[in-house]
Structure formats: structure tokens, C-alpha cells
């Protein structure tokens, strides 16, 4: 049973560029959430997708956008990158009918903005 998979694992961008990160949820899961984890901090909720729509959103600017596909996989897009966007981006999947907060995380995509 494949867990949550994310790609790429590492990437380097320069300020002002755009980046797309990808996530495949755990088999059987229908909800994908994205978190940003800055160095030395806890993960911060960016947004959550269910049924191809953004269901909840954290306190992140519109430069952060996402998409969910019919096969439940998801993308996170960040435009006009800033140095402060350097972080580990974690994707987590869950099953909407099990509304208990338990998430299954991928290993993350580490973004460095120079």
C-alpha cells in the first residue's frame, strides 16, 4: 500500500520565480492538505482540497494556490517566490468521512529560494 508521495524532494529557485509541487495521496484517501514547515518551526496549514475544490485555507497570501485532480492527487503552486518561502512543504492525506484530524504525511519537498 503506497503511502503519500511527493515530488520533487528538493529544488532550488530564485526570487520571483514560480514553483509547482506535486502530491499523490495514500491509496483510498480523498482529501489532501498542504503544510509549510519553516526551519525550526512546526508545520503551518496552507490549504486543503476535497472533491477538487479548496475546502479550507490558512493564513497564506494568494501567491499560494493549489489544485486537486479527479484521481485525488494535488499540486501546490507558489508564484513570485520570496526568500521567506524557503521551507519544507508537506502534503498530507486523509479520508473526509473520518473527520478526526488524523493525517498521513509525505516526506516533503524542500524548497530553497535564493
Partner 1 sequence: AQSVTQLDSQVPVFEEAPVELRCNYSSSVSVYLFWYVQYPNQGLQLLLKYLSGSTLVKGINGFEAEFNKSQTSFHLRKPSVHISDTAEYFCAVSDHNAAGNKLTFGGGTRVLVKP
* Interatomic CA distance for residues 56 and 48, integer angstroms: 5
* Number of other residues whose CB lies within 10 A of the CB of residue 45: 15
| Residues of this chain, 5-34, that bind partner 1 according to CB under 8 A | 31, 33
Q: For the window 34-63, what string marks contact with partner 1 as x by the rule CB under 8 A?
A: ------xxxxxx--x-x----xx-------
Nearer to partner 1, 42 or 70 (CB): 42
Q: What is the largest CA-CA distance in the chain?
A: 41
Residues that bind partner 1 (CB under 8 A): 4, 31, 33, 40-45, 48, 50, 55-56, 90, 92, 94, 96, 98-108
Amino acid at each position: 500500500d503506497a503511502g503519500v508521495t511527493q515530488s520533487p524532494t528538493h529544488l532550488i529557485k530564485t526570487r520571483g520565480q514560480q514553483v509547482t509541487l506535486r502530491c499523490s495521496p495514500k491509496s483510498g484517501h480523498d482529501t489532501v492538505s498542504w503544510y509549510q514547515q519553516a526551519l525550526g518551526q512546526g508545520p503551518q496549514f496552507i490549504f486543503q482540497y476535497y472533491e477538487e475544490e479548496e475546502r479550507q485555507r490558512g493564513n497564506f497570501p494568494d501567491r499560494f494556490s493549489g489544485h486537486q485532480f479527479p484521481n485525488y492527487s494535488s499540486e501546490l503552486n507558489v508564484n513570485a517566490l520570496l526568500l521567506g518561502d524557503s521551507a519544507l512543504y508537506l502534503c498530507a492525506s486523509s479520508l473526509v468521512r473520518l473527520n478526526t484530524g488524523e493525517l498521513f504525511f509525505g516526506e516533503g519537498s524542500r524548497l530553497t529560494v535564493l
